[in-house]
Structure 1
Amino acid sequence: MESGALTSDWLSAYEAVPRHLFVPEVIWPGRAGMNRQHDRVTMAEDPDMWWEAVYRDAPITTQWDGGEYTGPGKGRTPTSSNSMPTMVFSMLAALDVQEGQSVLEIGTGTGWNAGLLSQRLGGDNVVSVEVDRTTAEAANNRLRLAGLLPLVVVGDGADGYADAASYDRVIATCSVGSVPAAWREQTVTGGVIVTPWGPTYGGEAVARLTVSKDGSASGPFVGSSAFMRMSVQRKTFPPTRAFLDGDEWPGSGVRSETALSPDDAGDWVHMFAVGVQVPDLFCRVEQLEGAAYRLWVLDTGITAWATADYEPGRTRYPVVQSGARRLWDELELAWRWWDRQGRPGFDRFGLTVDSEGERVWLDSPDQPVPVKA
């Protein structure tokens, strides 16, 4: 791969375990660098488009709404996928497996990642946990047809798989907002956990955590990511109308202006920096006329809301805030903190997880990112 994600130590596994063996006949191709899907493509109806999608460096959605939606078109929530090859091999590089090591994978999906690990380490050293039975059975069939024999377990990935513990490496192919304690408990001292992690507001990156003797785990973020949330940690946010008490926007909201563009509040690393500091924020986007839009900022406790309207060419943007808190002010303070630190990318952030909780830090563990209580 031109990105350099496919290093020489994974090349033979990539060649022996081709992606097409682990992609179902019905797919929704994604776009590289984006978590948006095209409409359904089937191998039977459009084989050329199917093959092109399989060997493009982009993610492929393989299930919607837990399998309840099959198309045509798209469902509401993607619930399984075959990840972008660059991301797959970047995370495997971060995992840094060595011969003879054991690996626990969280989220079997189509089985490709488990297949690559099994080719490299041998199936006896790989356990993969998948919450959806149908997905797990289909992946297991693909693996066996390819001559690969990891242990595929149907279960809640948050619980790991204690029966085969402990593991030298743990890798998650779904994102979390809180690293399950079982993953640390089932990893050897000095072992590594590689997992996508992100706050409620948005933004996400892959954390590479090393487990210490005391059971804590800490390490840097090694790159941006955009994975589906682990099923047990998926959240359903209240509808916008729940915040308005039957009124129409802007109701009794307090009007002001800001020089901070809503675009600057919606970039991936910006969302990460804001979300870490204000953990109960979430947002929605309402399209307005042309390229204009309204960014809604809301809190999970349904106590306050704010809007900021974006229009191309403007340098100041209308803001409306209502409720017990001034959420745009909180967001802007968090953004200004990130700006004062030199606008750090994901590579300057890190994460520590222990019995007391989780702390995101900047540059070193003794510099925690401030969190609004």
Structure 2
Amino acid sequence: MTRDTEAERRALAERLTVSGELRSRGWRAAVEAVPRERFLAAGVFLPEEGGWWRPVTPGSVGDEAWVEIAYRDESLVTQLDGHLTADRVGEPVRGIPTSSSTVPSTVVGMVEALDVRDGQRVLEVGTGTGYSTALLCHRLGEDQVTSVEVDPDVAARADAALEAVGYSTWTVIGDGLLGHPLRAPYDKVIATCAVRRIPYAWVRQTRPGGTILATVGSWAYGTGLARVTVGEDGSAEGRIIRRASFMPARSQAAVPPAGDLSARAAYPDSERVTPIDPRVLEEWMPALLAQLAVPGAQFVKALGEDGEQSYLFDTERESFAHLRAGPGGWTVRQGGPVALWDRVEEALAGWQETGRPGIETVRLRITPRAHTYWLEGRLAMRWEHQVG
């Protein structure tokens, strides 16, 4: 497409300013300068009923329709199943989103929270389409930005888009979670993917006093944006500053439980009534607390012959919890060496007793040996996850 989108970029910046996400002059200039549509050249997949995805490319719709799509304040899926892009299919398809152009308000909110200063060096984990990389390059200068992308095809498209708008930054193809030193130390590290826990490799690559900003959690919701500061002793400490939702880092993505779920939970070690309604795990803070209480577990909802049912599976520990609604409330059946629901129940009961504090009260500390989480002012609610 050849149409200039200056008006749309200015309108986007104004919307984000009014919403409170865009607060500084430098980032507003970046939003007004970087054309989002250039980073969507391979097209996008738009959701349709029944789990289908409709491919849309710049050539399949007119300029006006394409610009309207590109400047929506919503996440636009750019890849399915780790390989499929919209320019490779002509009809609606099914698939699992594996790459996207994140909601502009989320991107801008994150870079504002990064609190960068002129001259600082930034490592971005997860180049994706390259749109956020371009914003960083405009704000700091391309020599100050290194971006890591695990998917070679995604990286190639991002590099092409960055060059098309005048940036040539350090884009590294590889797994940034492995801790390759790259150009460390960095003043700031920002991850545009979700991780189960912040890798200590990122702490090693950040100078003392530097900041790491990453979404922690492995569920589709109940994840939080963590901001931690690296200390002189090699630890990092901070807090969850807001809700956040990103696709999981490829190396940390959990494989969804497959097969007959009821069969996998057929032989429990115990059964009892629980006072906690598992539907509370559809709320953000309870879902985050559950992940802290049983790291590695996955939460699955199902509708069986006996009505609504919920499952927790921890395949590594070979444990499960099966919750089923009945006339007298919810019954939980548990099996394996770890009583998953007991731990979740304890965390949620403590949270309710302390007045249901918000996600911003979660603090965390990272060391080479452990990740520790606790609720601010409530030290009894504490979880330590050993590393290795």
What is the TM-score normalised by the length of structure 1? 0.86
Retained in 1: the 8 A contact 2:194–2:247?
Answer: yes
- Matched residue SS, 1:275: helix
Q: Which of 54, 57, 60 matches 1:45?
A: 60
Equivalence for 2:79? 63
Matched AA of 1:163: L
- Matched residue SS, 2:302: strand
Structure 2 CA distance, aligned partners of 1:253 and 1:366? 32
Equivalence for 2:167? 148
Equivalence for 2:30? 13
Q: More deviation in 217-226 or 48-57?
A: 48-57
Q: Which of 308, 316, 320 matches 1:305?
A: 320
Say whether 1:336 aligns with 2:355: no
The 3 A distance-change label for structure 1 pair 75 and 201 is closer
The 3 A distance-change label for structure 1 pair 192 and 46 is same
Deviations 1:102-155 (A, max 9, x none): 101001000001100000111000000111111111101100110112111111
Matched AA of 1:91: M
Equivalence for 1:224? 243
Structure 1 CA distance, aligned partners of 2:305 and 2:70? 36
Q: Which of 259, 263, 275 matches 1:244?
A: 263
Structure 2 CA distance, aligned partners of 1:317 and 1:81? 38
Equivalence for 2:367? 354
**What pairs with 1:175-254 in structure 2 (closer than 5 Å)?**
175-198=194-217, 203-239=222-258, 241=260, 244=263
Gaps of 5+ in 2: 1-15
| Number of equivalenced pairs | 363
Shift in Å, 1:310: 5.4
Equivalence for 2:309? 294
Equivalence for 1:263? 279
Retained in 2: the 8 A contact 1:107–1:129?
Answer: yes
Retained in 2: the 8 A contact 1:216–1:355?
Answer: yes
Retained in 2: the 8 A contact 1:37–1:61?
Answer: no
Identity %: 34
The 3 A distance-change label for structure 1 pair 73 and 256 is farther
Matched AA of 1:165: A
- Matched residue SS, 1:66: coil
Structure 1 CA distance, aligned partners of 2:230 and 2:152? 30
Matched AA of 2:352: D
- Matched residue SS, 1:43: coil
**What pairs with 1:16-165 in structure 2 (closer than 5 Å)?**
16-29=33-46, 39-47=54-62, 49-68=65-84, 72-165=91-184
Retained in 2: the 8 A contact 1:102–1:126?
Answer: yes
Shift in Å, 1:18: 2.3
Retained in 1: the 8 A contact 2:194–2:218?
Answer: no
Q: More deviation in 114-123 or 331-340?
A: 331-340
Structure 1 CA distance, aligned partners of 2:109 and 2:118? 19
Shift in Å, 1:173: 0.4
Retained in 2: the 8 A contact 1:350–1:364?
Answer: no
Structure 2 CA distance, aligned partners of 1:153 and 1:52? 32
Structure 1 CA distance, aligned partners of 2:140 and 2:82? 31
- Matched residue SS, 1:173: strand
Structure 2 CA distance, aligned partners of 1:289 and 1:56? 41
Shift in Å, 1:262: 2.4
RMSD: 3.0
